[in-house]
Structure 1
Amino acid sequence: MGLINNATDKLSENLGYAETHNLRIGTMWSIINPPRSANKAHVHPGCLWSGVYYIQAPEKCGNIEFVEPRTVHLMNQAKYQPNKKRPKECWTKVRFKPVPGRMIIFPSWLYHSVDTNMTEESGEAANRIIISFNLNQVKAK
């Protein structure tokens, strides 16, 4: 919990949240994704922020993908020069490779999914194991 609380305190400070309230864990759960399993796109209603902490992440166990929720802008997209990377402000999807010990905190309204675990590991070592959590502001003590 200390790792998460330290990160959320820093997040609150960077965003200028009221000092009368702290970001704290409202719910927390673990997920074990064996080979050939995935998580469909979803959001976490009723929370400000959500997060994932990777406990175990074998190679090819499935990236997490965040998708731009404002789909109306997709009706007319700009053309970009071939072989030139788009600026971050124009990305519609962002993907992160799971790494043991990595924590990602993101807005709860942001659609996200996890690719299929296609690892070639076997047994318990093949599982992608994460701790997920939701955060809300609570009155500081």
Structure 2
Amino acid sequence: MTKILSLFATRIYRAPLGGHAAEALRFELARSCDLLSMEDKAGQAWCKTQNYLGYTSYASLTDLPTRMSGFGDLKRRLDKHVARFSEQVGFELAGGKLKLDSLWVNVLPKGGVHSGHIHPHSVISGTYYVSVPDGASTLKFEDPRLAMMMAAPTRRPDSAQDLQPFIFLTPEEGEVILWESWLRHEVVMNRSTHSRISISFNYAWT
């Protein structure tokens, strides 16, 4: 009897942020992100130096959960999602815990991209989506085995999703998406005339 086993799964977690007044929090965070993009001169300077189209607080602000109450509320809600995802992927934390290591704002205007990358020194990474206008960037994930498929033919377009070399997800406003930090991903070009606003983060094992 022939058997086909599906092994070594790569799991992606998607869920509404949830909690009390989640939509009100999203609007509050949208205002905060806009304010930071205008007032964070160090972040603006870093983006200019790196030729980054748009704004990110990644290299300038490291204390957002304590600096602004909305980010503190977001952090508490993210903690619960990360704990659920940790259970789902079977992590044995051996008395340790997953703790928020960094959190930053991204404002991506029309034409903005974020090229393929991973998040070293972290266990779980993810993004909360504050504003996703029509035509905004998708999130692209890459099969981590690609570098070892030297002689493999390409996959048929109609093959199963878990066989595809790249997966494109369209985020929803108010949604949290989580993945293990070693998974290579990128944000494709924003084709909307409005900015795509998100808040990304890393959790480390402590």
The answer, yes or no, to whether TM exceeds 0.5 is yes
Aligned pairs for 1:30-45 (under 5 A) are 30-45=105-120
d(CA) in 2 for partners of 1:79 and 1:37?
29
**Shift in Å at residue 132 of structure 1?**
0.3
d(CA) in 2 for partners of 1:54 and 1:74?
36
Aligned length: 130
Q: TM-score, normalised by structure 1?
A: 0.83
Q: TM-score, normalised by structure 2?
A: 0.58
Aligned pairs for 1:1-141 (under 5 A) are 1-14=75-88, 15-18=90-93, 20-71=95-146, 72-73=148-149, 75-77=151-153, 80=156, 85-120=158-193, 126-138=194-206
- Structure having the higher helix fraction is 2
**Shift in Å at residue 16 of structure 1?**
4.0
Seen in structure 2, the aligned counterparts of structure 1 residues 91 and 131 have a Cα distance that, compared at 3 Å, is same
1:62-117 residue CA offsets vs partner (Å, 9 max, x unmatched): 1010001222225213765xx7x322331211111121111111111111111111
Structure with larger RCO (C-alpha < 8 A, sep 6+): 1
Secondary structure class of the residue paired with 1:9 = helix
d(CA) in 1 for partners of 2:189 and 2:113?
4
Q: CA RMSD in A?
A: 1.8
* Counterpart residue type for residue 40 of structure 1: S
**Shift in Å at residue 23 of structure 1?**
1.3
* Counterpart residue type for residue 124 of structure 2: W
CA contact (8 A) 1:26 1:133 kept: yes
| Structure 1: runs of 5+ lacking an equivalent | 121-125
| Structure 2: runs of 5+ lacking an equivalent | 1-74
CA contact (8 A) 2:155 2:164 kept: no
**Shift in Å at residue 8 of structure 1?**
1.2
Q: After the TM superposition, which parts of structure 1 deviate over 2 Å for at least 4 consecutive aligned residues? A: 16-19, 77-80
